[in-house]
Amino acid sequence: MADKIRVLVSEEEVDKRIKEVGEQISKDYEGQEVHVICVLKGGVFFMCELAKRITVPLSMDFMSVSSYGNEKQSSGVVKIVKDLDEALEGKNVIIVEDIIDSGRTLSYLVEILKKRNPKSLKICTLLDKPERRVTDVKVDYVGFNIPDEFVVGYGLDYAQKYRNLPFIGVVEE
Ligand code: IMP
Ligand code: MG
């Protein structure tokens, strides 16, 4: 039987907010180029919509790390499943994430990407659950702060399902 999903952030709200974040980034990087890194798979919908709203010259790369299995809880173990294709040397890098929960995944990513000498490194996330943070990680752009609930949609999955929902929802138990 299909799970029941309650809408937390509607499609209209998500679209509107992504447009705003894109405008902010375009303003902040005026006269420069940005290199956006999508953290697969969750970041892919956000990355595509966001990139369309950024007006400065932009390049993209993709990376896949895993810290979650099919469980709703972080394992604390992070590994690179797919590394970037391009070097980061001298680039204005923006990491694009679906959600920051404990912050473990991102802390690890920032650590390894900084060693590749980007000109600058910023973090952009569609969703943030600040209550859940266990690491000290600075987030530069946040779409929405959300309460401590497990969400799906707009790239986020529960056991690989629901990534394709055009809104952010909560799976009702
Ligand atoms: P963190 O390392 O605890 O910050 O977890 C980050 C990753 O966990 C995200 O990129 C997601 O893949 C996954 N995650 C955390 N919270 C949720 C959620 O509410 N729904 C779906 N995936 C989540
Ligand atoms: Mg993710």
Q: Going by C-beta distance under 8 Å and a sequence separation of 6 or more, which residues neighbour residue 4? A: 171, 172
Going from the Cα of 101 to the center of ligand 1, the distance in angstroms, rounded, reads 5
Q: Please give the pLDDT value at position 84.
A: 98
pLDDT for 76 beyond 70: no
pLDDT for 73 beyond 60: no
* Averaged pLDDT of the chain: 92
Going from the Cα of 151 to the center of ligand 2, the distance in angstroms, rounded, reads 12
**Catalytic residue numbers, as ranges:** 101
Q: Please give the pLDDT value at position 104.
A: 86
* 18 vs 133, more confident: 18
Taking only the tens place, the pLDDT of each residue in 83-101 is: 999 999 999 999 999 999 9
Q: In 3-state terms, what secondary structure has residue 108?
A: helix
The dotted CATH code for 33-67+76-145 is 3.40.50.2020
What residue's CA is closest to ligand 1, atom 5? Answer: 101
The bound ligand whose nearest atom lies closest to the alpha carbon of 163 is 1
Q: In 3-state terms, what secondary structure has residue 171?
A: strand
pLDDT for 163 beyond 60: yes
Domain ranges of the chain: 33-67+76-145
Helices H / strands E in the chain, number of each = 3, 9
pLDDT for 72 beyond 70: no
Atom of ligand 1 nearest to the CA of 105: 2
The bound ligand whose nearest atom lies closest to the alpha carbon of 130 is 1
pLDDT for 18 beyond 80: yes
Tokens (6 digits) for 49: 């919509």
Going from the Cα of 5 to the center of ligand 1, the distance in angstroms, rounded, reads 18
Tokens (6 digits) for 68: 């979650």
